[in-house]
Amino acid sequence: MATRSMASITRQAPDMVADDQDWRAEALCKNWDFKKKGDPWHPASESRIAAIEGKNLCGGCKVRFDCLIDAVQSDTRYGIRGGQTADERRRLRK
Ligand code: SF4
């Protein structure tokens, strides 16, 4: 995957980024049954195979850009957010 900066993401999709935190209400993972289904957003490792379920779920989440921007801006260092692993988000910050 090509590395893109957060500035380029927000420039290309400004209408997809909410102005406030209301996006959290639309989060696909909000109503996930973690007890029954486990936590695909925090796999045992961040290998491509381990992260694939969480990344795929994020791919179907309509607030993934808001989530990704929030994770990068808040420097969230663990888990998959907005379809990106922590390592991928670290590269976006550069
Ligand atoms: S993008 Fe992924 S982690 Fe973020 S709210 Fe959606 S499902 Fe949850």
| Rounded mean pLDDT for each run of 10 residues along the chain, 94 residues in total | 50 52 94 96 90 97 97 95 96 86
Note whether residue 28 is domain-resident.
yes
pLDDT at 4: 54
pTM for the predicted model, two decimal places: 0.79
Task: Report which protein residue has its CA nearest ligand 1's atom 2.
Answer: 58
Note whether residue 65 is domain-resident.
yes
Note whether residue 55 is domain-resident.
yes
Note whether residue 33 is domain-resident.
yes
- Cβ 40 vs Cβ 47: under 8 Å: no
- Locate the ligand 1 atom nearest the alpha carbon of residue 62 and give its number: 6
* Ligand 1 pocket at CB < 6 A: 27-29, 41, 57-58, 61, 63-64, 67, 81-83
Which DSSP state fits 84? Answer: B
Note whether residue 3 is domain-resident.
no
Domain hosting residue 58, numbered range: 23-93
Note whether residue 16 is domain-resident.
no
Which DSSP state fits 43? Answer: -
Cα gap 19→17, rounded to integer Å? 7
Note whether residue 37 is domain-resident.
yes
Which DSSP state fits 91? Answer: H
- Position 6, amino acid: M
Q: How far is CA 59 from CA 38, 52, 80, 94, in A?
A: 18, 10, 11, 23
Based on the structure, what is the number of domains in the chain? 1
